[in-house]
Amino acid sequence: MSHTKGDRKLLARVRRMKGQVEALEKALAGDSDCGAVLQQIAAIRGAANGLMAEVLESHIREHLGAQPVSEEEHQADLEQVVTVLRSYLK
């Protein structure tokens, strides 16, 4: 089971992001000026970055923390984190 399952804090973040995306959609459909649209996009990006950082930190603490695991499991978890980071930083 995922250690993020049912995390109310994460769900609240996603719901706020959903509201931001809906506001952006309305701004683009309406007659909003470019500055407001750019500001909304920046807010969404910041929210996504914050969510990514929180989930990644939780993942690292859960899977690469102090709990004893086999070397194979440790390497697999490490590769997963590296893969996610590479994708995120593109």
Q: What string of DSSP letters covers 29-70?
A: HTT--HHHHHHHHHHHHHHHHHHHHHHHHHHHHHHHSSS---
Task: Report pLDDT for 4.
Answer: 72
Who has greater pLDDT, 62 or 1? 62
Amino acid letter, residue 31: D
**Interval 2-45: pLDDT, tens:** 667 778 999 999 999 999 999 999 999 998 999 999 999 999 99
Average pLDDT of the residues in 74-80: 85
Cβ burial of 32 (10 Å; 0-12, 13-18, 19+) is middle
Mean of per-residue pLDDT scores for the chain: 88
